[in-house]
Amino acid sequence: MNAIETQQLTRTFGSRVAVDSLTLAIPESTVFGFLGPNGAGKTTTVRMLSALIAPSNGRAMVNGYELGANDGLIRQSVGILTEVPGLYDRLTALQNLVFFARLYGLSSHRATQQAERYLRMLDLWERRDERVGGFSKGMRQKLAIVRALLHEPLLQHCR
């Protein structure tokens, strides 16, 4: 089975074509990278494949789920680490992780378990009750990694 399959996947913004008829198949357990200059459509492609934006045309399957028909399941099965992690500065590290885990559908108990597991793994457990706004860039990046993985997605993307 392929982790990702696309057929003629296209995204336009007005008259601007960001992704033009992308067809690809990425097998499971494969490390795959998008390389290209700024404006080549890499981020737009990842946003479409993560069900964050809809394609203008074409089809895609992600982890066996059809884009457009199973977007919630796609989002639950994908973990994304973006260049600028979206964390809430006024919440503590633990509060941030539990909040995002709940958005991914984890129960409150499981969310807390997973947050503790990963915070301990990355040596952030002692800082769990501190507001993220006071964290260094490196600590925020560690927390963003945890956020991308705590729901144990089938597919992970780092940018």
Tens of pLDDT, residue by residue over 38-95, are 899 998 999 899 888 999 999 999 989 999 999 988 888 887 777 777 899 999 999 9
Phi, psi of 129 (to 5 degrees): -100, 10
User: Is the residue at 9 inside a domain?
Assistant: yes
Split into its structural domains, the chain has a count of 2
d(CA 76, CA 115): 16
User: Is the residue at 88 inside a domain?
Assistant: no
> Can you give the pTM of this predicted structure?
0.71
Considering the domain architecture, whether residues 13 and 45 belong to the same structural domain is answered as yes
Domain final position from 43, 78, 113: 78
Q: Integer distance in angstroms from the first to the last C-alpha of the chain?
A: 24
Query: β-strands 57-62, 155-158: how paired?
Result: unpaired
Domain final position from 47, 78, 109: 78
